Structure 1
Amino acid sequence: MIRLTLYTTLGCHLCQQLEGLLVSLCHEPVEWTRVEISEDDALMARYGVRIPVLADAAGNELDRGFEPARLVAWLEARGWLDEEAWRQLRRRLDGEGVGGEARAAQIRNGRRYLGE
């Protein structure tokens, strides 16, 4: 079990994005303790513009972990990265469809949609 601390605040969509990435990219279950920074002036001063911030058991912190490449490097350095999950996510981020084929964009009603 991977145990982490997540410094966050209510309604932080980037924190939710980070949690989703953690669940999909770690090779074992993740348990995190959420620390609400808005209830503590010292935490607000330290993390207010940096959230979400992840911290491992040794106190090593990761800012902007919602950026997949940063999170992957941090997880890999700790031996927690699921390599296959990262390959799959990278293909999706690079715009590849099923079978490795690039998804075509379509314009409908003046809006751009990625193909399926």
Structure 2
Amino acid sequence: MIHLTLYTTLGCHLCEALEHWLGRLAGVEVRLSRVEISDDEALMARYGVRIPVLADASGNELDRGFEPERLAAWLGERGWLDEAAWRAAREGEEGRSAPRGAEMRGGRRYLSPAGKR
């Protein structure tokens, strides 16, 4: 399991798109922590025009992760990309892969790879 942080704000449709793609493309279970930037002036200054920003446990950040190509490359660099899901997404075979779900545990959202619910 990997832990990722999503810097976001309420009603961010791009953040929702990033979560959608993360759920489809991650080949490992993901624990996703959401950080609301509007509650903190420093976070607003840092991320206000960049959200959604996804960060790994080492602090490496990804801007514009709602773009599937950018997210796939970022996940791939870390060995977390589901290559088959990425191929299917690029080929437009969305309906053929099993849908991925999310569940809440302890106030945190967990995304599971297909078949590992």
TM-score after normalising by structure 1: 0.79
In the alignment, what sits opposite 1:76? 76
In the alignment, what sits opposite 2:56? 56
Q: Distance in 2 between matches of 1:19 and 1:46?
A: 21
Calculate the aligned-residue CA RMSD, in Å. 1.7
Name which one, 1 or 2, has greater alpha-carbon Rg: 1
Q: Distance in 2 between matches of 1:18 and 1:30?
A: 13
Kept after mapping to 1: 8 A contact 2:8/2:53 = yes
Kept after mapping to 1: 8 A contact 2:18/2:66 = yes
Counterparts of 1:90-109 in structure 2, within 5 Å, are 90-92=90-92
Q: Distance in 2 between matches of 1:66 and 1:87?
A: 17
Q: Distance in 1 between matches of 2:14 and 2:30?
A: 18
**Ranges in structure 1 where 5+ consecutive residues have no aligned partner:** 99-116
Kept after mapping to 1: 8 A contact 2:88/2:94 = no
| CA offsets 1:53-88 (integer angstroms, 9 cap, x no match) | 000000000000000110011000000000000000
| CA offsets 1:2-38 (integer angstroms, 9 cap, x no match) | 2100000000011011001111101111111100000
In the alignment, what sits opposite 1:46? 46
In the alignment, what sits opposite 2:35? 35
3-state SS in 2 of match to 1:31: strand
Q: Distance in 1 between matches of 2:45 and 2:72?
A: 27
Higher relative contact order (CA 8 A, sep 6+): 2
Q: Distance in 2 between matches of 1:64 and 1:7?
A: 11
Letter in 2 for 1:25: L
Letter in 1 for 2:54: L
How many residues are paired up?
A: 96
